[in-house]
Amino acid sequence: MAPPPSRLKQFGKLLNLAAPYGVAGLVVLALRFSGIAEAGNLLLYDLVTVKRPAPSGATKPITLIGITEKDIASYGWPIDDRLLCDAINLLTKGGARAIGLDIYRDKGVGPQQECLRQQARTNPKLVSIFNVAESIGPIPGTPPQRRSFNDLVLDTDGVVRRNLVHVTGQDAATVALPLRLVEVYLGEARLRQRLEASPDSLERLHPDSGGYFSADDSGLQQLLLFRQPGSFASASLNQLLRHQVPQDQIQGRIVLIGSTAPSLRDLFLLPRSRFVLDPEGRQTQISGLELHANRVGDLLAMAEGASPAISALPGWSGQLLLLLGLGLGVVLGERFTTLRRSITVVTLVAAVGLGASVGLLWWKGIWVQTALPLAGLGLMAAAAWLRRGAASQQQRQQFERLLGQTTSPAVAQQLWAQRDELLSDGCFEGRQLPVTVVFSDTRNFTTVSERLSPADLLAWLNRGMALCVPAITKRGGMVNKFTGDGFLAVFGAPVGKGELADAVEAIEACLEIQIHLEQLNRELAAAGAPEMYLRIGVHSGAVLAGSMGSSERLEYAVIGDAVNCASRLESYEKTRQTNRCRVLVSSSTRDLLPPEQTAALLWEHWGELQVKGRQQPLDVWELKGSAPAAAPANPAQ
């Protein structure tokens, strides 16, 4: 059994309402799962963190001993074990509290390998790295408590933004290089023990933290605070071996030894890479050695009890912001009556949201989900604008279908501004309105029609209507219908200027028709065409106005006593006409005119007219035209 038409109509309306929002929702999902939204979040994060003032690495007890291009030119590559052993001896004697060798040395280099291995076995300050994935072990003989892995976490765009602090549940040797160095530096493992016992105390990153979507959150991760590039105390391997490193850059510090030479390709992209270029015009990169120094700096602050300098709100906050953005988009897109105001408010709200997100990251170091909520706001608002545009187009079509071209542009604009009040389910609701009705007919139309061909007759008639319609519509009236050789016009429906003003406009329209009809008849006479005579009836009163008909055919109708009276005035004593345009006006209309206007017009009183079915007779006046202006007084008299 087929559903009733009313239900199908309601379903169609719901579909039209939901379709733009459904498309917008699909676009939001596409942004979420395609990685575009995350890329936008990362771009904003990089931009703000680059512009945000960065602390100096000089405040941290960390020194970098880099193997530079000059070192490689002097000592070759890979560096001989003996040179590394000498460097470690110098650092140990200089009072370094922790030494991290960020160079794989599971296989010895050079003839004197035992020295470095002896250091690995016996030097309590030395930490050696290994790599499980590539099956690279630490320096042979290194005890588990001084082994570490130097793995880094790269985002999908190859940029390092996160610090892998620790991986819980591993053996004693599987500890990240920065955490192991901090333990050796402090002489205790309380930080690692706390992380093992309570991983969430780290304010760790989760897959959807901040601006991430489904990020790999293996281990305990945090956002990494980058210090000013090149701000850590540093020296080359050659300078260390030549005793050219100041004592205060070694004693009591964490010292990292590793490569910094670009040719060794131990370089990584960081948030500033896409905004800052090196002298050769390439994206700036950071050496793995300096990257580890930044990681160590964060862990030292953590060991001292400081909160993370940069953190990310949990994933639920991003979902909440997304729902807020979607909801605001719908409300702001639908709420305001004008599209321009809605766009302005949506733009302002988006700017405030973006500013709040930037402000939180800049001043508080808190990263929040931004791209998707703002995209949701914009897309839902756009869906609302699209829906409203389609509804407006549909309503315009309804207006055109109901009123046609029978109103002036000014009235059409007024109708459009009040459409929500006037229209209900695509129709004008029935309303009782005070109006002034103008009813017109052409005298002797049958006689004229016998003289002219149908085409000529229609052209002749249209010339008369062409002067009547503008006189009415430009004054706010509406030509409600054409009655063959006449018309029914109304002032005050669907909207009016007020009962008094509508009456004045109707009378002025009739005066203009009288004047223009005289000119038209001169033109018709010159062309040998029949003259045109009109009869017009004008009456003011209440009518019932609204849409009449069925779904197949609707029209805006005005019915009631006022229409009947205007029609009777037009047809009253048809043969009594002394001019080309006879205008009979009831006292109901004449009494609404201002006294000065009534006095400025020529009137002839016809007496009373009893209308069938109406108890009160009509007091009838003929409008003859405007009274001639009084001659100016003669100053000489």
Same domain, 418 and 335: no
Do the Cβ atoms of 370 and 353 come closer than 8 Å?
A: yes
Task: Name the domain boundary from 385, 403, 421.
Answer: 403
**Domain check: are 254 and 329 in the same one?**
no
Residues 6+ positions from 422 with CB-CB distance below 8 Å? 415, 428, 429, 494, 495
Average pLDDT over residues 192-205: 88
| Chain Cα centroid distance, residue 365 | 26
Strand, coil or helix: 143? coil
Residue 296: predicted pLDDT = 98
Q: What are phi and psi of 479, to 5 degrees?
A: -80, 100
Residue 406 above 50 pLDDT? no
User: How confident is residue 202, by pLDDT bands cut at 50, 70 and 90?
Assistant: confident
Element (H, E) at 162: strand 162-166
| Confidence label for 419 from pLDDT (cuts 50, 70 and 90) | low
- Residue 335 phi/psi, 5-degree rounding, is -70, -45
Question: What pLDDT, on the 0 to 100 scale, is given for residue 386?
Answer: 86
Q: Where are the alpha helices (DSSP H) in 592-631?
A: 595-599
Q: 395: domain range?
A: 324-403
- Average pLDDT score over residue span 550-579: 82
CA angle 201, 203, 209 (to 5 degrees): 150
Specify the 3-state DSSP secondary structure of 407: coil
- 375 lies in the same domain as 499: no
Report the 10 Å Cβ neighbour count for 485. 20
Nearest to 593 by CA among 511, 519, 531: 511
- Is residue 552 very low, low, confident or very high in pLDDT (cuts 50, 70, 90)? low
Are 488 and 537 part of one and the same domain? Answer: yes
586 in any annotated domain: yes
230 and 288 in a single domain? The answer is yes
Among 105-119, 135-149, 334-348, 408-422, name the one with the lowest average pLDDT.
408-422
What are phi and psi for residue 581, nearest 5 degrees?
A: -130, 100
What 3 state SS string does 331-396 have?
HHHHHCCCHHHHHHHHHHHHHHHHHHHHHHHHHHCEECCCHHHHHHHHHHHHHHHHHHHHHHHHHH
Q: Is residue 597 part of a domain?
A: yes
Distance CA 301, CA 309 (A): 9
Residue 603: strand, helix, or coil:
strand
Say if residue 338 is in the same domain as residue 481.
Answer: no
With vertex at residue 275, the alpha carbon angle to CA 273 and CA 280, rounded to the nearest 5 degrees, is 70
19 within some domain: no
CA distances from 395 to 331, 401, 445, 566, 601 (A): 21, 9, 38, 32, 42
- The overall average pLDDT reported for the chain is 88
The answer as to whether 9 is a domain residue is no
Q: Are residues 333 and 475 in the same domain?
A: no
Strands 554-559 and 534-549: antiparallel
Domain boundary among 403, 433, 457: 403
Binning pLDDT at 50, 70 and 90, where does residue 402 land? Answer: very low
- Quickly state the pLDDT bin for 122 (edges 50, 70, 90): very high
Single-letter amino acid code for the residue at 147: R
Cα–Cα distance measured from residue 121 to residue 136, given in angstroms and rounded to the nearest whole number: 18
Between 19 and 515, where is the model more confident? 515
Whose CA is closest to 239, among 94, 123, 135, 353? Answer: 94
Phi–psi pair at 220, nearest 5 degrees: -105, 115
**Residue 427 zone, left/alpha/beta (φ > 0; ψ -120 to 50; rest):** beta
54 is a domain residue: yes
For residues 386 and 312, the model is more confident at: 312
User: In whole angstroms, how far apart are CA 456 and each of 165, 247, 560?
Assistant: 95, 114, 35
In this structure, the answer to whether residues 424 and 375 fall within a common structural domain is no
pLDDT band at 408 (very low <50, low <70, confident <90, very high): very low
Query: CB–CB of 548/557 below 8 Å?
Result: yes
Using DSSP, how many helices (H) and how many strands (E) does the chain show? Answer: 20, 22
CATH number, domain at 613?
A: 3.30.70.1230
Give the CB-side neighbour count of residue 453, counting CA atoms within 13 A.
Answer: 2
Q: How far apart are CA 423 and CA 430, in angstroms?
A: 10
Contact predicate 218/205, CB 8 Å:
no
Kindly state whether residues 361 and 416 are assigned to the same domain.
no
In a domain, 319, yes or no: no
The yes-or-no verdict on residue 414 having pLDDT over 60 is no
Q: Supply the pLDDT for residue 9.
A: 52
The separation between CA 455 and the C-alpha centre of its own chain, rounded to angstroms, equals 56
383: which residues sit within 8 A by CB, 6+ positions away?
Answer: 20, 21, 23, 24, 329, 330, 333
Residue 616: predicted pLDDT: 86
pTM, whole model, 2 decimals?
0.68
Cα(95)–Cα(471) distance, rounded to whole angstroms? 104
Residues 399 and 411 both lie in one domain: no
Determine how β-strand 431-442 pairs with β-strand 534-549. Answer: antiparallel
- Of 358, 384, 403, the residue at which a domain comes to its end is 403
Q: Are residues 455 and 383 in the same domain?
A: no
150 and 243 belong to one structural domain: yes
> Structurally, how many domains does the chain consist of?
3
Q: Widest CA span of the chain, in angstroms?
A: 140
pLDDT at 14: 61
The reply to whether 133 falls in a domain is: yes
Q: Is the peptide bond between 494 and the residue preceding it cis, with omega within 30 degrees of 0? A: yes
How sure is the predictor about 420, in pLDDT bands with cuts at 50, 70 and 90? low
36 falls within a domain: no
Beta bridge partners of 481: 488
Where on the phi/psi map is residue 426: left (φ > 0), alpha (ψ -120 to 50), or beta? left
Question: Averaged over 524-543, what is the pLDDT?
Answer: 93
DSSP result, 295-332: HHHHHHHHHTTPPPSSEE--HHHHHHHHHHHHHHHHHH
Segment of 276-285, 325-334, 492-501 carrying the highest mean pLDDT: 325-334
